[in-house]
Amino acid sequence: MDVFACLGRLDLCFEPVELWLGQRTADPHPLECTVTDPESFAHADADLNRQALEYHAHPKPGKIGVAVTKPAATQHDLSLAYTPGVAEPVRRIHADPLQAYEYTNKGNLVAVITDGSAVLGLGNVGGLAGKPVMEGKAVLFKQFADIDCFDIEVQAEHPQAFIETVMRIAPSFGGINLEDIAAPHCFEIEQSLIEQLDIPVFHDDQHGTAIIIAAGLLNALEIQGKSLEEARIVVLGAGAAGIAGVRLLMTLGAHRNNIFCVDRQGIIHTGRKDLNPYKFGVAADTDKRTLSDAMEGADVFIGVSGPDLVSPEMLASMAPRPVVFALSNPVPEIRPSVAMKVRDDLIMATGRSDYPNQINNVLGFPFIFRGALDVRASRINEDMQIAAVEALRSLAHEPVPAEVLEAYKLEALQFGPDYIIPKPFDPRLRDRVPRAVALAAIQSGVARIPQSSS
């Protein structure tokens, strides 16, 4: 099985799919999920499951290991690697903790940490069951950006216990990637760790997703002749990905009252009394109440929710030349085959590799961390996130190298409705995004060494 088969699945933390879709009733019901040709889906899933189990179990269980990076073939080598030689680096680090970057792997080591509360589409399965996902994340860090990772699964029922665990082990690492932690606890956990640690802390389900969505959306709006500042945007799903996406789009210029974020109770609006602080921060001042209301006349739909939640009628009610990001996996909020029958003027993206315009987090997190680690950034701030957006956005405008066409078995690929975001196997990402992120870290004052010294 191809180690990168996982690139066909988008790794996000979505809002649960029981949503009030537009019926003006006192007892709203979630839309039933339907699957075209379920038998073929079942056969495909069974085959994939068999391959995945074989891949994870053989020839050696798991996907990652530890490699020795120094000579260890002689007695002298071992005397340097361990006692007595190791004592001198210990003394240097004790005198100056920053020397850990010079004498250990701290500067290129990221912890991928979860509590297992929101693992892919499987929900709260606990830390141990989430371990294959964390190992997979480590594979992507290493393969795409040569970053070493340890996966860490924490059994913690309360956010504070999780925070305290991460705080205690953080000195070992150059960065912390939070993964598959359910909303709203993920917001509290990330903010607390950012405030208390002097290394980058990044919840990829929030910010990685938001960055890729923003880069693709800006390009799609450009092609459609629209602007982010004037676009009316619907975001279906108010979990980690949805709320972070709204926040970033507002930072980039979207107007708060032009964004309608929809959760299980309908549109998140300022008159609701059930909102936590994170949802209140994205609430719109509007009389609209349902997803159907929000979709009417909308320029953009971003779905981070569940399958088949957008009807053809909703899509038909959108403004001319709409942009539709239906990111639920494996079944989108509306399937491209359905959407294209309803509208011939839309640009569409999904979380799947078998359709054009895959919105995939692997375009972001390896390279964002690479740039942050290269300058020993103390955090991944808003400027660095925007730099990543702009790097991805601009790269899609450039001619596509022949090796990318070969990797995807394509004869041609150019900026347009079917190519709004770079492909994950584009080798230019490895230089372009880290360089932009590192420069933003330097310019915003969170870098501790100049990029040229990395």
Q: Would you please indicate which residues are annotated as catalytic (active-site) residues?
A: 82, 137
CA atoms within 13 A on the CB side of 76: 0
3 state SS of 265 = coil
Q: Which amino acid is at 39?
A: E
The answer to whether 382 and 251 have CB atoms below 8 angstroms apart is yes
Cα–Cα distance for residue pair 133/152, rounded to 1 Å: 11
Annotate 136-162 with b (16+ C-beta within 10 A) or e (fewer).
bbbbbbbebbebbbbbbbbebeebeeb
Which residues sit opposite 287 in a β-bridge?
A: none
DSSP H/E element including 261? strand 259-263
3 state SS of 123 = strand
3 state SS of 302 = strand
Largest Cα separation within the chain, whole Å, is: 78
Alpha helices in 120-179 (DSSP H): 131-145, 159-169
DSSP string, 362-373: GGTHHHHHHHHH
What's the burial of 350, exposed, middle or buried (CB within 10 Å: 0-12/13-18/19+)?
buried
Residue 250: count other Cβ atoms within 10 Å of its Cβ: 17
- Peptide bond connecting 159 to the previous residue in cis, omega within 30 degrees of 0: no
- Peptide bond connecting 132 to the previous residue in cis, omega within 30 degrees of 0: no
Strand order in the sheet with 300-303: 266-267, 259-263, 233-236, 300-303, 323-326, 347-350
